[in-house]
Structure 1
């Protein structure tokens, strides 16, 4: 039993940085956690990247220590500490890449991919269009306002609409008198994105021409 424990502990120490990076990624982004096998695969990918960086940086630090100056001894504790630091940084970097779409945008320009970094077209529509929206409800009412939060998926979650108002058939606004209102996505048929963007957040007006985003409701 003691022999098994001695073998398992080093293996866990080797894998934990990868699981830490994966945990940061799925905790801070809208991506759904995969099943157990998928999470293990993701963690192993992160582990491979982390350990590759540790080996490379370790070799570089040894060269610097031998040729220029030394700040300490390169041992297992130093390696574990560097693995933890790289895991956290890699987790945050992967979150930034997934949330900004910058890498995918650059790859789209050279026709390597047509995909975005966002988890779905639904999420992409809200992330890339910061503007007023009109929610078409199942009872044929229309709710107008600024979405400060929205569901990560079109089938579950809630909208948090700031400065909400109802729209009549002619597009006239009727203020609700609330700072914000929460609407479940199951009550929404589709969403219109107004021409009023983030620079006009403090201004109220009609929705104008809009694009439509159909929900699964």
Structure 2
């Protein structure tokens, strides 16, 4: 039993840098880990990247040290450098994923048609990040099927949970002459739960009728 506990501690100690990178990545991106097994696999992958980088850096320093000595290397560098690399890779992978850099590069060579984002839903909002939206609410929701216009300052990463935070919201009103936007007087923003949304339309900024709704 003691040997099993010791092996577990050694394994966790080996994977600690990978867990740190994974924690940073999943804290800064909308991706989620579904189960504990997937968490360990991700930590193992990140650990292999970190350990490989560590050995390359260590080998490079030894090679340079044969030519010019920079002084004494502290004995705890083996503990500090992997942590530094873990933080670096966590921030790097988050930056790449949140900006679609890797997949956009690969798409140029027709290697993939995928994107780096967590879903097509999230990708649509990234593509139209400067657009205003019209939300069609569900008939059986609190909003009773009404359409709401505004700027999506915050939006869910998927279409199953979370809230929309719409700035400068207006009601979309249908009349005989067409469609008007009726300002929500005194309302700076409105939170709309995602489970009340039927669909989303992306549009250019439109003129708003400031007449109060009767």
Counterpart Cα distance in 1 of 2:39 and 2:65: 38
Counterpart Cα distance in 2 of 1:194 and 1:129: 9
The equivalent residue for 2:189 is 180
The equivalent residue for 1:147 is 152
Counterpart Cα distance in 2 of 1:205 and 1:103: 39
CA displacement at 1:174 relative to structure 2: 1.2
For the aligned residues, what is the CA RMSD?
Answer: 1.8
Of 179-188 and 65-74, more deviation after overlay is shown by 65-74
1:64–1:70 Cα contact (<8 Å) kept: no
Give the secondary structure class of the aligned counterpart of 2:204. strand
Q: Does 1:107 align with 2:106?
A: yes
CA displacement at 1:103 relative to structure 2: 1.2
The equivalent residue for 2:73 is 73
Counterpart Cα distance in 2 of 1:74 and 1:127: 45
Q: Does 1:52 align with 2:61?
A: no
Number of residue pairs aligned between Structure 1 and Structure 2: 198
Q: Does 1:118 align with 2:117?
A: yes
Give the secondary structure class of the aligned counterpart of 2:125. helix
Counterpart Cα distance in 1 of 2:199 and 2:6: 57
The equivalent residue for 1:61 is 61
1:133–1:191 Cα contact (<8 Å) kept: yes
Give the secondary structure class of the aligned counterpart of 1:168. strand
Counterpart Cα distance in 2 of 1:3 and 1:185: 50
CA displacement at 1:166 relative to structure 2: 0.5
The equivalent residue for 1:200 is none
Q: Against the structure 1 CA distance between its residues 2 and 154, is the aligned structure 2 distance closer, same or farther, given a 3 Å change threshold? A: closer
Compute the TM-score of the two structures, normalised by the length of structure 2. 0.86
Give unmatched runs, 5+ long, in structure 2. 139-143, 209-214
The equivalent residue for 1:211 is none
Superimposed CA distance per residue, residues 155-196 of structure 1 (whole angstroms, 9 cap, x where no aligned partner): 111000001111101321111121110000111110000034
CA displacement at 1:116 relative to structure 2: 0.2
Give unmatched runs, 5+ long, in structure 1. 197-203, 207-217
CA displacement at 1:34 relative to structure 2: 2.5
Q: Against the structure 1 CA distance between its residues 100 and 106, is the aligned structure 2 distance closer, same or farther, given a 3 Å change threshold? A: same
